[in-house]
Chain A
Amino acid sequence: MPRELGDVLHFFLGDAEGPDPEGAPFRNVAPPRPAALPVIALPLSERDVVRAAFAWNLAVEVARLGASATLVAPDGGDPSPAWPEPGPGPVGADVRRAAAGDLAELYRGAMDVAVSRAADAPEGGLVLVCVPPVWLRRPEGGAALTRWSLLFTSSDGRDLLETYGLAKTLLRLRPDARVGVTVHGARGLADAESAFRRIAEVAGRRLDASLTSYGLLVDDLHVYRAIVARRPVGLAHPQSRAARALRDVARLLLEDAREMARV
């Protein structure tokens, strides 16, 4: 069932109303161990510093929730100096560079990671794969990678148009794709909700597709300072709204990952 932002809004309300993001542990259920961890594709440019940082920080937050988390990106290219170094990172979040020149090779590299990490993931986990958007235009043999994807968007009309276009491209590759959207940089909850509803409504009408909301992320000074310092926001500023929002989005992703692993 498609998730509306309203369904998850309580995660993003203030302290008085929302659950304590630091207190309660992730749900205390031991999932069956899958043969491979779920893989989620994140179409984003390696030079998009902010969104690449969100991807990395989400991996760290998934790891902080006790699950396995690996961020995979294709090798080579011209990554930002802010990109994390390959290897085990904070709280066990792993960064891997995959030797890949197209979507198919990236898919194979991601699946290698998904299988190898599943063996050591009693609490489940997730493999986040940064996909060069231009590779979506030549997906031969790699459409399987886009079964589940996450798009970042701001509430700006141009960004929403791009996100809609990416959703359209992903659904053309796989009509059964689950396309998720996380809104960042919104002025407030209402702004984020309005942005998601706008794009979801257009996608529903024009593409006959339901987009899944994965909440919202906060663009604030803590995020930028953490990016420049190459430290995860959740560790550098754990009590900040940015860190709490990341944690909540990570929870949503992990819930769906566990659900997928059970299917």
Chain B
Amino acid sequence: MSEIEATAAPPRPDLLLRLRARLDDLKPPLRVLAESLRGAESPIDFVAADPSGQVVLVLVGGDGECLELLARGLAQKSWAEPRLRDWLQLAPNLGIRADQPCRVLLLCPEFRPETLAAARSLPPGSLALARYRCVRAGAQVHALVETVDNGGADASEGSGRRGESGRESPPALAERRPSQGAPAPPFRTGLTEDDLDLSPAEKAEFE
């Protein structure tokens, strides 16, 4: 059996690949939607969603970068939040909640006390911290991730519905057709059937 030993982080592309595989193991688990998305002046390493559909922006830093990464994370959060509705329009099956603020997850080898203090001063649920370690097992390098501060994102409750499996499917998309008796949802323009004075016969033409 190969020995497992701590090792230096591999080059950044490899590191991101290995960390990406670990995001699913976090609590709550994260589903990656995009990688290296150009955000506010710099890339967002991963744009992900948790089981409730809350968007999580994941930034990966190296040694000594935790405080700067915190500032970048908040900037990216500010950049991304106004765009969530647009993303949902462009990709309706994304399964994200545009009505919720983004959460930021910072991954660093270590977090300085200053960074931890700054993180704790932020509103609950806005920022989470996780430490990563790289280990070598034989020829393979693996990344291990350990949550330092989940920022109030309680894995057992989450911010949305929980299923029996503990893994949520993305939140149901808005129904295009109302349930019986309920008024029809607005059209894409925001107007309703009443606004457009549509008769039942006219509606039936397009069913």
Contacts and interface: CB of A to CB of B under 8 A. Distances in A.
B191 A133 contact: yes
B198 A161 contact: yes
A169 B188 contact: no
A158 to B, nearest CB: 6
A224 B188 contact: no
B138 interface: no
B114 to A, nearest CB: 32
Interface residues of A, number: 33
B177 to A, nearest CB: 8
Interface stretch (A2-10, A41-49, A238-246, A250-258): A41-49
Given A158-B187, A161-B203, A82 B176 contact: no
B205 A166 contact: no
A137 interface: yes
Interface in B69-106: 82-83, 85-86, 89-91
B90 A164 contact: no
Interface string A43-79: 1110111110000000000000000000000000000
B39 to A, nearest CB: 11
A160 B207 CA distance: 10
Nearest to B191: A133
Contact of B207 (A51, A81, A157, A229): A157
Given A137-B195, A165-B198, A168-B197, A45 B207 contact: no
A227 B197 CA distance: 33
Nearest to A199: B206
Interface of B: 38, 82-83, 85-86, 89-91, 176, 187-191, 193, 195-198, 202-203, 205-207
Chain A's interface: helix, strand, loop or mixed, by majority? helix
16 contacts: A43-B189, A47-B85, A80-B83, A134-B190, A137-B191, A160-B206, A161-B202, A162-B191, A164-B198, A165-B187, A165-B191, A166-B196, A168-B196, A168-B198, A227-B90, A229-B38
Given A133-B190, A169-B196, 15 more contacts: A45-B189, A45-B190, A48-B89, A48-B188, A49-B90, A51-B188, A81-B86, A133-B191, A134-B195, A137-B191, A158-B187, A161-B193, A164-B206, A202-B206, A228-B90
Nearest to B195: A137
